[in-house]
A and B are shown apart, each in its own frame.
Chain A
Amino acid sequence: EAGVVQSPRYKIIEKKQPVAFWCNPISGHNTLYWYLQNLGQGPELLIRYENEEAVDDSQLPKDRFSAERLKGVDSTLKIQPAELGDSAVYLCASSFGGTPSTEAFFGQGTRLTVV
C-alpha cells in the first residue's frame, strides 16, 4: 500500500512568488493534515480536513495561505505571496478517523526555500 505522497520534494522560489504543494493521502483515510515544521521544532498544524471539510484552520495564515481538498481525497496548499519566513518543511499527514488513538501517517514533506 502506498503511503502519503507529496510533491514536490523541494522548491526554491523568490519572495513574493506563489507556490503550491500537493498531497495524496493513504487510500481510505478521511482525515488529512497539513503541518509546518521549522528546523529544530516539532510539526505545527496548519489545517485539518475531515473528508472535504476544513474542520480546523485556526493556525492557517489566511491572508497568504489557502488550502483545498477536492472530493475529499487529494489536497493542495498554496502560499501567495511567499515571504522569507515561510521557508520550512511542509508535511502532509493522513489518518482514518474514529478514535483518539488514530495514528497519523506522514508524507516525505516539501522543503520550501524562499530567497
Chain B
Amino acid sequence: QKEVEQNSGPLSVPEGAIASLNCTYSDRGSQSFFWYRQYSGKSPELIMFIYSNGDKEDGRFTAQLNKASQYVSLLIRDSQPSDSATYLCAVPSGTYKYIFGTGTRLKVLA
C-alpha cells in the first residue's frame, strides 16, 4: 500500500459546483496534512494545511480530516475554471519528509 494515495482523475465539475478531492494515508500517527495546487508546467503551491485536531476553512476551500478512515478531503466551493489544476496531497513522514500523492487533476467546465 502506498503511503499517500489519490485518485488521478480527471475530476470534472461544472462551474459553480463543489469539487471534492480525497486523499488516503497509511500512517495512522500522521498529525498534519497539506494540500498543494499545481498548474500545468508550474511548481506546487500550498493552498491549505490542517492539523489532526480539526477541519479548516479558508475562503472557498475547506479541508476535512477523517482520522478513523485515514483520509483527508479538500472541498472547493463555487468552483471556477481557474481552479483547474492538479491537487497534490502531502503528509509528513517523520518530522520534515513530505510524502506526496500522485495528485488529482481537476477540470472545472465553464
Contact = CB atoms under 8 A, between A and B. Distances in A.
A69 interface: no
Interface residues on B, range: 20 to 34
Contacts of B4: 42
B97 A41 contact: no
B43 A42 contact: no
Interface string B75-108: 0000000000000101010011111111100000
A109 B98 CA distance: 17
Given A100-B95, A101-B32, A103-B34, A44 B43 contact: no
B8 A40 contact: yes
Interface stretch (B11-19, B45-53, B57-65, B66-74): B45-53
A97 B96 contact: yes
Contacts, number: 54
B20 interface: no
B8 A48 contact: no
B31 A44 contact: no
Given A42-B101, A97-B96, 12 more contacts: A40-B103, A42-B4, A42-B90, A43-B100, A91-B44, A95-B96, A100-B32, A100-B92, A101-B32, A101-B51, A108-B42, A108-B43
A106 B43 contact: yes
B43 A45 contact: no
B98 A104 contact: yes
Nearest to A89: B43
B98 A45 contact: yes
Nearest 8 A/B pairs, CB to CB: A42-B100, A106-B43, A101-B32, A42-B102, A43-B100, A100-B32, A106-B44, A103-B46
Contacts of A91: 43-44
A109 B45 CA distance: 12
Contact of A109 (B32, B43, B92): B43
B55 to A, nearest CB: 15
11 contacts: A33-B98, A40-B103, A41-B102, A41-B103, A42-B88, A42-B90, A42-B101, A48-B96, A100-B92, A103-B46, A105-B46
